[in-house]
Amino acid sequence: MTILPGASGARAPRPRAAAPHRASRLTSAIVVAVLIAALLLFFVVPVIWLLLAPTKTAGQLEHDFPLSFGSFRQFGAAWSHLTSFQGGVIWLWLRNSAVYSGGALVLTLATSVPAGYALALTRFRGRKLLLSVTLVVMIMPSAALVLPIFLELNEFHLIGTAWSIILPFSFYPFGVYLVYIYFATSLPRDLLSAARIDGADEWQVFRRIALPLARPVIGLVAFFSFVGNWNNFFLPYLVLPSSQQFPIQVGLNQLLSSTPSFNPVAGAGLDITSPELALAVIIAIVPVLVLFLFSQRALVAGMLAGSTKE
């Protein structure tokens, strides 16, 4: 059902006020066009600029047309400058990010899927309390808990270990809520009761009936968890003391402070200039970008998870 302005006009009482009608429709079409064009520029131009930046030298970035392509040779130069920064530490950062986000992903799925299932489809004392607490913690911005978590980790002398990142990352109430909503709305309880009557125990019911049906929501939880953790900066920034342990996001921060354009003192003499920094940003977001491109549809469904429940 496309609703074009023209389609609605066909039904309007045309003979009476055709001319003013058309004029106002023209103005509103122009308003719409200008709005969309402006937003399109705002959202897309920075992305295009970013993708083109590593093909130019710092000088070309200043003097050439901002959205021009430089050369592949220059891209290669930026690449080798970046990858030789501190002996290729950027690969280490990427690997760390993968370990932290991947480890947390496994733990998140292992804990949130059974929990969401149990909250939706089993009955136990304390269930409502757990559900309410989950909702509140889910809505509360996670950054609010970062400093308290740091203080706690510090108390238990866990600062600086990979677990000090992976374990807090694994706590993902939003994932539990997504799974809960999914099971509560799309899996009929009668189906489970039938299986129980047939003699299946609780684990078999979960494993054989619920889990295979949950594939879409598992994908969704995995996506949001991975992307959120990959882009997380605050906790690793507080918890990890050494550059060797940084995830890529914290690494980008270090690159920023090593760039002469933003730090003339410390950055002097280094090869990390604007094109290298732009390239680092691209490398840092590639995994997330790829996921974005492939899971658009699922994403929209996830963002609207609440709306299915009115």
Partner 1 sequence: MTVLHSQHDTVPGPVQAPVPARRPQRRRADLAGYLFVAGYTVLLIAFGVVPTGYALYLAFTNADGQFSGINQFSKVATDFRFGPAFANIAVYLGMWLFLVIVLTVVVAVVLRSRVGRGVSSVLRFLFYLPGALAGVASVLVWLFMLDPSVSPAGALLRAFGLDNFDQVLAPGNLPVILVLIAFWTGAGGWIVVMYGALNNIPDDVLEAARIDGAGPWQVAWHIQIPMIRKWIVYMAILAFATGTQLFVEPQLLETASLGRISPTWSPNELAYVFAFQYGNFNAAAAISIILLVVGLLCAGLLVTRSGLFKVDEDR
Does the protein bind partner 1 through residue 34 (CB under 8 A)? no
Query: Should residue 310 be labelled a site residue for partner 1 when binding is judged by CB under 8 A?
Result: yes
Angle formed by the axes of helices 215-230 and 274-294, to 10°?
Answer: 170
Separation CA 125–CA 13 (nearest Å): 63
- Rule CB under 8 A: say whether 92 interacts with partner 1: no
Assess 204 for contact with partner 1 (CB under 8 A): no
Asked if residue 5 binds partner 1 (CB under 8 A), the reply is yes
Check binding of 206 to partner 1 (CB under 8 A).
yes
d(CA 42, CA 38): 6
The helix (run of H) or strand (run of E) holding residue 104 is helix 89-121
Q: Does residue 148 bind partner 1 (CB under 8 A)?
A: yes
DSSP class of residue 205 equals I
Q: Where are the alpha helices (DSSP H) in 140-257?
A: 143-155, 163-170, 173-186, 189-197, 202-204, 211-213, 215-230, 234-239, 248-257
Q: Does 35 bind partner 1 (CB under 8 A)?
A: yes
Smallest distance from partner 1 to CB 255, Å = 9
Q: Does residue number 30 form part of the binding site for partner 1 (CB under 8 A)? A: no
Q: Which stretch binds partner 1 (CB under 8 A): 76-84, 87-95, 124-132, 212-220?
A: 124-132
From the CB of 119, what's the least distance to partner 1, in Å? 7
22 touches partner 1 by CB under 8 A: no
Number of helical H runs and strand E runs in the chain: 18, 0
Site string for partner 1, 228-247 (x = CB under 8 A): ---xxxx--xx---------
